Amino acid sequence: MEPSPLSVRVAELISQNPGSRTFSFIENGEKYWVKQPEAGEANIWHKLMLILSKAVNNNFFRPTVVTDPKASLAYEAKRLRQLRDNGIRVPWIVLQTPEYLVLEDAGIPLSILLGSSAMKMEEKKILIVQLSHALADLHNRGFFHSRPALRDIAYKEGSIYFMDFEENLENTLSLDEAIVRDGFLYAHTLFRKLRSPDLVETGLDAYHRALRPDLWNNLTEEARRYRITYLLIRPLYRFLGKDAKAICDTLAFFRRF
C-alpha cells in the first residue's frame, strides 16, 4: 500500500527531530503533535517500591514505570479511542503506527494558563472549577486518567481536554483504586503548582461537590490509612521540599472530612 502524504510528511519530520519524544507541526493551517514511544527506566527505587507495596499490602506503592514503550503507545491509543467513544474530550488520533501517534492539538496546558500572571484570579477560579467538574465527571462515569497533572490537561475553545494516557494501571490497581489515586494526584498537583491557597481550595471544593459520595468516601478513607505518616511529617513541614509539602497538604485536606 502506498504511504499517505501525511505519513510521508511525519517520517520527514521525525528524521529532522531525532530524539524528540513529542513535537508539533502545522499542516494545512492545523496544528498536530507527533508522539513517539519512550521507555522508562526501572531502577533500584522501583524495585524497593515493589517490595514495599507487597510488605504493606498497598498497591499504591507499586511502580508503574513504562518498560515496553511500543506497547505503552498502543495502550494510550486504545484509551484515547475508548474515552472519545464515551464522550470524554481527548485529542483525536489522526494517524497511528507502532512507531508513533499523530494527534490533533488539544489546546493550552492548564499548567501554563493557571500559572500565568496575565490571567485574572476570577478567570482562573472559573477555569479550575471547570477542570474539577470535568475530572469528577470522568470519575463518576467509571473512568480514570492515571496522572491528572496540570501539564497533562489542556483547554481549547471553552472545553477541558485530557491528555497523556500511556501509564497503564489496569494490571496494578482496581478501578476504584485508580480513581482514588487520581484524586490524590489531582490534589497534590494543585498544592504543588498553584501559588494561591484560595485557588487550590476553590478547585478541591468544586471537585468534592461534583464527585459521587461513594468515591469521595473512598478518598477520605484512604487518607486515614496514612495517619501515622501524616503525624510524623507534619512537624517537619517547613523543612520539606515541594513534593513532600504537597503530600502533607493533600493528606491534611482529605483528613478534614
| Whole-prediction pTM | 0.90
pLDDT value at residue 187: 97
Q: Residue 143: what pLDDT?
A: 97
Please tell me the predicted confidence (pLDDT) of residue 211. Answer: 98
The whole-number pLDDT of residue 46 equals 46
- Residue 50 confidence (pLDDT): 47
The per-residue pLDDT for 111 is 97
Listed in sequence order, the DSSP H helices in the chain are 5-16, 44-55, 69-85, 110-113, 121-140, 175-193, 197-210, 213-224, 227-233, 242-254
Q: Under CATH, domain 106-257 is a member of which superfamily? A: Transferase(Phosphotransferase) domain 1 (1.10.510.10)
pLDDT for position 13: 95
Predicted pLDDT of residue 42: 54
Spans of the chain below 70 pLDDT: 1-2, 39-67
